[in-house]
A and B are shown apart, each in its own frame.
Chain A
């Protein structure tokens, strides 16, 4: 036995010599390698996937990496991405919502019918669509918590019922065009952030990481715990700022950063805060990891399930509204096809486990970028949608396989 270093053993959490503390860059790297080896892949697959996709599609068609194509890509990401954020919430509990596509279609139909056909103000239509989403989620929660219906069946039934309602609302014409000059359609098609604002937003995350990291470190020292490894915190902040700054600069060569994508990221930030920094988020992880343990710890498990289902359906409705604004129409096609699977695939590809208890809001953001990049690249290659479906299906299958293999490895490495 080596005697612990007196300098490090002075704080409460560094007293045990069995723990290796990765404070230096080399240590952080070693810790990262250890985590990946044990199956704690985190964001790694999605990063590798993005690089791979960019290289392949750029080789096939250089337009893929053109700034304006990327701007379009971000517009497309926002609609399904918002839906995917809701999916993260239900997957976190080990449940699923298969009806998010239909829910988004229904929301888009509600916008069309209330706003265009009956002439109600737009905010009322939006609130009505979101409230419908919340109500549908509440019904799923009742089915699940009170009637013991598996979420997979309840939402499969919902998929059909909501699609039926969407077709009924749209009536015989089957499609309602939204006025092109309206704010809603401009938001989904042309509204771009001013450059100064997008640069400011690019600096913000790094600054927040650095400042909160520094303050946490101070508090830890004051409390007698070890400080954070500030060099690593600052390195993270700098790398993130440089990456975002470069992205904003590159996009500004084209049209710039879409407001719609900024809204999507804002919702993701809010969800991320909720999941990681609040009691609700902690309870979500606990219920997803071990429901009985969460119940015995005094968590109201049914309320957590209800919150997740409501959040998921409401975000699906929000995604439907964004979809309507993107397409400038409410049609029978809205929310059908691959919307459902893309939303679920995005969350899983980004690292949210289908088995519950693991995930993050960022997984939806990165995952949807991968999914949309594939779809966008295939469209640029003039491939038919039949091939696109097959390839997206294969990508989803691979993502789930990676998830379950990584899970098996985590269990054997004691990381669960």
Chain B
């Protein structure tokens, strides 16, 4: 069932036996996860599978109850969001967390402005353009407020912002959830470009098509445990089976009943 195709490089991030309990409930149990440079790892699972808990542990929001996290070969404790950022683990949250009243440059550099006592607007604008150009992002003007940007453009700004501090790993929580077809494609392209820069990318998504389109490995979580590692060419059925935990599940039953319905309609003709 498990098809491993791990690259031969040293992983940037290595999780071993990570668990997280909320009182009597164990949200995560014995999670193993490796992230290599230049690799997109998709984290999939049903609601309540523990994806968000795992992301929050990596972002430093939660502390694990047990297990070790190794970063570049050294064991680390991610004691807070600042610590994770400092190490080079950047997170793009689902709601993006941009200030609509500020322009693109101000949002990119928020909290990390150049020259705090006499803002270097020219320097920041230049860096903003070169960053957006590296991502081949299509933002018409960096001096317009975020409020006037489309959902895909906002996602681009959020991703560009996470790259500003030169992280080693970037985590994207549902990056395509609110986007249209063309914008989704743009964001997927963006993710590939980030990967090509040699970063490790973790994406969380419910959209199997997006996941298969961009991920090098697909890590399935189920009820807080590892439930297999797949490659992008795994069939939809196998993935769904791993996510739901059975080949007989709501999705397959629905497909079956639809197929039967079609058959009876055909028979009726």
Binds A, one of B141-149, B190-198, B257-265: B141-149
Q: Mark B89-111, 1 if CB is under 8 A from A, else 0.
A: 00001011111111000100011
Given A13-B141, A19-B141, A282-B119, A416-B100 contact (CB < 8 Å) = yes
Which A368-410 residues have a C-beta within 8 angstroms of B?
410
B212 to chain A, nearest CB (A): 30
B123 near A: Cβ within 8 Å?
yes
Verify A285–B113 contact, CB threshold 8 A. no
A216 near B: Cβ within 8 Å?
yes
Verify A416–B110 contact, CB threshold 8 A. no
A148 near B: Cβ within 8 Å?
no
Given A290-B97, A293-B98, A278-B146 contact (CB < 8 Å) = no
B46 to chain A, nearest CB (A): 27
Taking a contact as CB atoms closer than 8 A, the residue among A220, A279, A290, A293 that contacts B113 in the complex is A279
Given A277-B118, A299-B111, A416-B147, A12-B97 contact (CB < 8 Å) = no
Verify A290–B99 contact, CB threshold 8 A. yes
Please, which residues of chain A bring their CB within 8 A of the CB of B148?
A: 413-415
Verify B146–A299 contact, CB threshold 8 A. no
Verify A224–B126 contact, CB threshold 8 A. yes
- CB-nearest residue of chain B to A288: B101
Please, which residues of chain B bring their CB within 8 A of the CB of A86?
A: none
Please, which residues of chain A bring their CB within 8 A of the CB of B142?
A: 13
Which A13-39 residues have a C-beta within 8 angstroms of B?
13, 16, 18-19
Q: Looking at chain B's contact residues, is the secondary structure mostly helix, strand, loop, or mixed? A: loop
A49 near B: Cβ within 8 Å?
no
B192 to chain A, nearest CB (A): 22
Given A297-B110, A298-B112, A415-B147, A285-B97 contact (CB < 8 Å) = no
Please, which residues of chain B bring their CB within 8 A of the CB of A225?
A: 122, 125-126, 129
Number of interface residues of B (CB under 8 A): 40
Please, which residues of chain A bring their CB within 8 A of the CB of B239?
A: none
B215 near A: Cβ within 8 Å?
no
Verify B125–A357 contact, CB threshold 8 A. no
Given A223-B123, A285-B99, A293-B110, A13-B145 contact (CB < 8 Å) = no
Verify A285–B101 contact, CB threshold 8 A. yes
Given A12-B129, A298-B111, A293-B119 contact (CB < 8 Å) = no
B83 to chain A, nearest CB (A): 11
A292 to B123, CA, bound (A): 26
B191 to chain A, nearest CB (A): 21
A352 to chain B, nearest CB (A): 13
A303 near B: Cβ within 8 Å?
no
Given A12-B133, A297-B111, A358-B101 contact (CB < 8 Å) = yes
Query: What are 22 contact pairs spanning A and B, CB under 8 A?
Result: A12-B126, A12-B130, A13-B129, A16-B138, A16-B139, A19-B141, A223-B125, A223-B126, A225-B122, A280-B116, A282-B119, A285-B99, A286-B111, A289-B101, A292-B95, A293-B99, A296-B93, A296-B97, A299-B110, A357-B101, A358-B101, A411-B147
Contacts A216-B121, A278-B119, A290-B97 known; list 13 others, CB within 8 Å: A12-B126, A280-B116, A285-B99, A286-B102, A289-B99, A289-B102, A292-B97, A294-B110, A297-B97, A297-B110, A357-B99, A414-B147, A416-B100
Which 8 A-B pairs give the minimum distances between C-beta atoms?
Answer: A416-B147, A414-B148, A279-B116, A289-B101, A293-B97, A297-B111, A416-B100, A298-B111
